[in-house]
Amino acid sequence: MAKLNMVKALNLALLEEMERDNDVLVLGEDVGVDGGVFRVTDDLQRKFGSQRVIDSPLAEAAIIGTAVGMALYGLKPVCEIQFSGFAFQCFHQIENHCARYRMRSQSRFHIPMVIRMPYGGGVRALEHHSESEEQFYAHIPGLKMVIPSSPRTARGLLAAAIRDPDPVIFFEAKALYHAAKEEVPDESEALPIGRAQIAREGDALTLIAYGAMLRVALEAADILKIEDGAHVEVIDLLTISPLDRDALVTSVKKTGRAVVVHEAPRSFGPGAEIAASIMDGAFLSLEAPIRRVTAHDVPFPGFAREKANVPDLPRVVAAVRETLAF
């Protein structure tokens, strides 16, 4: 077992999938010679050549449009968009084409491609470099929306995304790239898309998080255990869409309470869909309203105020305490 950070774990998944399947290729801005803005594609062009690790022009629409064409002809492109805030240049290609070819062609064609994008705050960056926009992609039928929370889940879910026959949007929390190292198995592993994991078992309340917010949720669970004697169950969503409703409902039937944490703005965010799904499946078990701890409904305010916008430990702990006391 090797101990890797998330950048190295993602690089390993790309390497393994490119070795396994000659149809897998990588394209994006500076992914080749430079190895990607965060070095996730480091050394891949040297190993696989510039036909399989393609430096694109600075044109997001061209990256995704080209990749859709490649996928139609049987290749499996893994695109890198340097920051998720740049992806609106290619949103048309994603929503109007990438997500729709299966339906449009009545399954004669499908789009086996992955779009990787760094997302989220916590790195004191400027505008367009800190937002959390998973809700846009989770809302589009035909796409899957995946957000790993650690090196091992990043490696396992990227492998699964590349092997998936349908297009997968793959968000990587910038705050996690170098945050921690984790043991990853020697053998290549693919984790199931659409399946949440219980990160911590408990019976007092279900705390739901994903991506960089998982760490905040786990720290909150630690504090609540020590200070309040409350055993909080933490669910790591891992896939935003399709949502693992069974995991959420099963947990809330046990705990009777739920709090959702995400970096995206609150209104119309994943927390709303999660809360509605729990209401659908576990209404009679609920002892308290479902709370959401999220960024505020403001355009991402820039690094001087980002700590006040992105959920932090005190806000999560306070929301859990209020929900427990309800």
Partner 1 sequence: MTYRLGVHTTADDPTKYRAEEEVRMWEQKDPLTRFRIYLEKRDLLEAGLEQQVDDEIAEAVRRFEAAPPADPLTMFDHAYAVPPPGLVAQREEMVAREHAAPAPAPPPPPADATPMRGQRRTRR
What is the footprint of partner 1 within residues 124-153 (CB under 8 A)? 141-142, 144
Between 201 and 246, name the residue whose CB sits nearer to partner 1: 246
What the block records as the tokens of 24 is 């897998």
With CA atoms as reference, report the closest residue to 167 among 105, 122, 101, 106. 101
User: In whole angstroms, what separates CA 248 from the centre of its chain?
Assistant: 17
**How many binding residues for partner 1 (CB under 8 A)?**
17
| Out of 2, 58, 59, 103, the residue judged to bind partner 1 by CB under 8 A | 103
Kindly list the distances between the CA atom of residue 87 and the CA atoms of 37, 101, 120, in Å, as whole numbers in the listed order: 15, 20, 14
Q: Is 312 in the site for partner 1 (CB under 8 A)?
A: no
Q: Is 107 in the site for partner 1 (CB under 8 A)?
A: yes
> Comparing C-alpha atoms, which of 277, 235, 256, 65 is closest to residue 149?
235
Is 242 a binding residue for partner 1 by CB under 8 A? The answer is yes
| Helix residue ranges per DSSP H, 229-312 | 245-255, 270-282, 306-309
Q: Is 129 a catalytic residue?
A: yes
Residue whose CB is less far from partner 1, 54 or 193: 193
Q: Least Å distance between CB 28 and partner 1?
A: 25
Q: Which is nearer to partner 1, 108 or 304 (CB)?
A: 108
Nearer to partner 1, 256 or 281 (CB): 281
Q: Which of 97, 128, 129, 231 is catalytic?
A: 129
Give CA–CA dist 224/243, Å, rounded. Answer: 27
- 323: closest CA among 295, 291, 292, 280? 291
- Residue 245 makes contact with partner 1 by CB under 8 A: yes
Distance (Å, whole) CA 162 – CA 288: 40
Q: Supply the minimum distance, in Å, between the C-beta of residue 245 and partner 1.
A: 6
Nearest to 260 by CA among 303, 220, 305: 220
Binding marks (x or -) toward partner 1, 163..202, rule CB under 8 A?
A: -xxx---------------------------x--------
Out of 102, 128, 254, 315, the residue judged to bind partner 1 by CB under 8 A: 102
Cα separation, 113 vs 45, whole angstroms: 19
| Residues at the interface with partner 1 (CB under 8 A) | 102-103, 105-107, 110, 141-142, 144, 164-166, 194, 242-243, 245-246
**Annotated active-site positions, please?**
129
